[in-house]
Chains A and B, each alone.
Chain A
Amino acid sequence: MKKIVILGAGTAGTMAANHLTRLMDLDEWQITIVDEDPIHYYQAGYIFVPFGKANPNRLMKQKKNYLPSKVRALQQKVELIQPENNKVILADKTILDYDFLVIATGCDIYPEETPGLAEHEWGKSIHSFYTLKTAVALEEKMRNFQGGRIVVNVVENPIKCPVAPMEFLMLADSYFTQKGIRDRVELIYATPNSGAFTKPVASKLIGDMLDRKNINVEADFYIDRADPDAKKIISYDERELEYDLLVSVPLNKGSDVIGKSGLGDDLNYVAVNKSTFLSDNFDNIFVLGDAANAPTSKAGAVAHYATEMFVENFKHYIEGKPLEEKFDGHTNCFIESGYGKGVLLDFNYEQEPLPGRFPVPGIGPFALLQESRLNHIGKLSFEWMYWNILMHGRKVPLAPTMSMAGKWTDWEKRFNIA
Chain B
Amino acid sequence: MATKVLAGVTVEVNEEGFLVNPADWTKEIAAELAKEEGIAELTEAHWKVIDFSRQSAGTSGAAPTLRGITSGSGVSTKELFSLFPKGPAKKVAKIAGLGKPEGCV
Contacts and interface: CB of A to CB of B under 8 A. Distances in A.
A222 B104 contact: no
Contacts of B101: 157
Nearest to A352: B15
A266 B87 contact: no
A266 B81 contact: no
B71 to A, nearest CB: 5
A28 interface: no
Interface string A143-185: 0000000000000111100110000000000000000000000
A158 B15 CA distance: 22
Contacts of A139: none
Nearest to A280: B60
Interface size range on B against A: 20 to 34
Given A266-B71, A267-B67, A236 B78 contact: yes
Contact of B65 (A224, A267, A271, A296): A267
B105 interface: yes
Nearest to B61: A295
B42 interface: no
B72 interface: yes
A193 B77 contact: no
A265 interface: yes
B65 A193 contact: no
Nearest to B71: A266
A274 B67 contact: no
B37 to A, nearest CB: 12
Given A192-B87, A295-B102, 5 more contacts: A159-B103, A194-B87, A237-B86, A295-B99, A345-B105
Interface of A: 156-159, 162-163, 192-194, 197-200, 202, 220, 222, 224, 236-237, 265-267, 271, 274, 293, 295-297, 333, 345, 352-353
